[in-house]
C-alpha cells in the first residue's frame, strides 16, 4: 500500500503542476506573443506540446490520483462501483448532448482534450466526470455519516449534495472552457446564464444525480464512507480544480463573471470545506473481501484491537 500511496501523491502533485503550467500558458504566454517569439526551438516545441496535450494530461493525472486513492482506502470493488456508472452514464449524456442538445444545450467539442469518441466527445471528458464526481460524492457522503438519521436518508443526502458540488464547479469551468479566446468547447446557442443555457446546469445536476445514484445502489453498506482525516485529498482535488477554472474565468473574461464565481464558492468551495470538517473522525469498519491488502482506513482500528 505504501507504494500505491507514493504513486497516488505523485500523480496528484503532477496534476496540480500541470494545471499551474496550463494557467501560465493561458494567462501569460498566449496573451503575449512576443514571449513566444523569443523562445528557443526546444521551448517552442515544449510549449506547443503543452498546449496540445496539457488538457489531456491534467485530466488523466487527476483520474489516476483519485482512482489510486480510492483503491488504497476503500478497495477495488467500491472503485469499480463508482467508475463504471460515472464513465458510462456521463459518456452517454455527452454523446446525447453533442448529438441532440439534450441535456446540456446545443454544443460541440473543439480540439485539445484528446481523441473524440464517435467523433463527438473527447475520451478525457468521462474521466473528468469520474474523478470530480467521486471527490464530490466522498465529501458529501462523509459529512452525511455524521447526521443521526436512517442510512437511506444519508445516501440520498450524499447524492444531492455531491451533485450540487459538481454543478457548482461547472459555474467556473464552463465559462473558462467555452468563452475565452482559447476555448475547448462551444455552445451553439446564446445562453441565458452568463453565456450558458440554464439547461446546461440542470443537465450537470441531473447527470451527477444519475450516476451517483447508480453507484450508491451498487455499494455495500458503508463502502464509500471515509473519516475526516482521509478526506483531505478529495477536498484538495476539488479546490485546485475550482481554482483552475476560476482563475481563467476571472482573468480572461469581463467583470460580470465574478457573479458565477461567487456562486461557485458559495455552493461549491464553502460546502466542500464544511463537509470535510463535518465528517466524523471514525467510521464503522467494513472490511472488504476484494483485496489482500487492508484498506488504510482500517489500520488504526485493527491496531487498537490488537492492543
In contact, 171 and 260? CB cutoff 8 Å: yes
pLDDT > 60? residue 231: yes
Report the C-alpha gap between 166 and 132 in whole angstroms.
7
The pLDDT-based confidence of 292 (bands split at 50, 70, 90) is very low
| Residue 108 maps to a domain | yes
Structural domain tally of the chain?
A: 1
Domain that holds residue 258: 75-301
Q: Is residue 291 part of a domain?
A: yes
Report d(CA 113, CA 79) in Å as an integer. 24
Mean pLDDT score, 214-240: 92
Q: How many CA atoms lie within 13 A of 271 on its CB side?
A: 27
Domain annotation covers residue 263: yes
The answer on pLDDT for 106 being more than 60 is: yes
User: Within a domain: residue 40?
Assistant: no
Percent of the chain at pLDDT exceeding 90: 74
Quote the CA–CA distance of 68 and 74 in Å, as a whole number: 10
Is the pLDDT reported for residue 285 higher than 80?
no
**Residue 153, domain member (yes or no):** yes
Q: What is the pTM of this model?
A: 0.89
Cα dihedral: 104, 110, 116, 119 (round 10): 80
Query: What does the pLDDT average to over 35-45?
Result: 74
Is the bond preceding 103 in cis, omega lying within 30 degrees of 0?
yes
Amino acid at each position: 500500500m505504501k507504494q500505491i500511496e507514493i504513486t497516488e501523491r505523485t500523480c496528484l502533485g503532477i496534476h496540480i503542476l500541470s494545471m499551474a503550467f496550463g494557467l501560465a500558458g493561458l494567462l501569460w504566454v498566449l496573451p503575449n506573443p512576443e514571449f513566444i517569439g523569443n523562445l528557443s526551438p526546444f521551448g517552442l516545441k515544449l510549449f506547443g506540446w503543452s498546449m496540445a496535450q496539457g488538457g489531456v494530461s491534467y485530466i488523466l493525472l487527476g483520474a489516476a490520483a483519485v482512482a489510486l486513492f480510492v483503491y488504497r482506502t476503500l478497495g477495488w470493488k467500491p472503485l469499480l462501483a463508482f467508475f463504471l456508472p460515472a464513465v458510462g452514464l456521463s459518456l452517454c449524456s455527452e454523446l446525447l448532448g453533442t448529438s441532440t442538445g439534450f441535456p446540456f444545450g446545443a454544443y460541440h467539442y473543439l480540439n485539445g482534450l484528446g481523441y473524440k469518441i464517435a467523433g463527438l466527445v473527447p475520451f478525457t471528458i468521462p474521466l473528468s466526470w469520474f474523478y470530480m464526481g467521486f471527490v464530490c460524492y466522498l465529501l458529501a457522503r462523509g459529512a452525511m455519516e455524521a447526521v443521526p438519521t436512517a442510512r437511506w436518508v444519508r445516501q440520498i443526502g450524499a447524492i444531492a449534495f455531491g451533485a450540487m458540488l459538481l454543478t457548482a464547479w461547472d459555474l467556473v469551468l464552463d465559462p473558462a472552457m467555452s468563452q475565452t479566446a482559447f476555448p475547448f468547447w462551444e455552445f451553439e446557442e446564446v445562453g441565458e446564464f452568463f453565456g450558458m443555457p440554464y439547461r446546461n446546469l440542470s443537465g450537470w445536476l441531473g447527470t451527477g444525480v444519475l450516476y451517483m445514484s447508480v453507484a450508491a445502489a451498487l455499494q455495500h453498506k458503508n463502502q464509500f464512507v471515509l473519516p475526516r482525516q482521509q478526506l483531505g485529498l478529495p477536498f484538495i482535488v476539488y479546490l485546485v480544480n475550482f481554482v483552475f477554472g476560476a482563475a481563467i474565468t476571472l482573468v480572461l473574461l469581463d467583470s460580470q463573471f465574478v457573479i458565477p464565481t461567487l456562486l461557485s464558492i458559495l455552493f461549491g468551495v464553502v460546502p466542500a470545506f464544511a463537509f470535510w470538517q463535518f465528517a466524523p473522525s471514525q467510521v464503522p469498519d467494513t472490511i472488504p473481501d476484494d483485496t489482500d491488502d487492508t484498506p488504510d482506513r482500517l489500520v488504526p482500528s485493527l491496531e487498537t484491537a490488537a492492543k
